[in-house]
Chains A and B, each alone.
Chain A
């Protein structure tokens, strides 16, 4: 089974520039998540999709971050304009469905490391 694919793996930009990250989840996984992980901290949920609908985007800084999952498969996370504090690893994860089941394991991608100068 292919894993969660993310690109690019690394990106360095200057503040106020824009950047986009791409995620292709495991085939058949309905739920897709974007997490922000700042160095030394646990991942923080930015947005959760169920198919192509948004389930939770309460912690997404909507003035600069946007995400879409148009066909219910792959997803794009965009930051525009970037700030210094956006330097982090952006993790994409997917699971079969969301529900009260211990079998719903999240599979994470390797992440996209963003450095904002």
Chain B
């Protein structure tokens, strides 16, 4: 079945370069989330979209991080001027949203980002 798809699976960049990570949510899912998972830790919330609207970006660690979902489907997380501390696995999740109660989130396999 078509789950959440993320690309690339692995990304290596030099410090100071810009990177873009892509997420294709489950078809029909209204809500989309980005999380950052450092080695040996649980995922931490970055930002959340409902359709194309970014409703919460409180978890973005700095103004170097930017996310968009212009047509309410595919989303891109961009990191500018990468730093070594940005090395982590970036997870995308989607949910049905728009309903009563907290909807379960379904995760992609993540993008492992390594900054040299």
A and B: bona fide binding partners: no
Task: Name B residues whose Cβ lies closer than 8 Å to a Cβ of A.
Answer: none
Task: Name A residues whose Cβ lies closer than 8 Å to a Cβ of B.
Answer: none
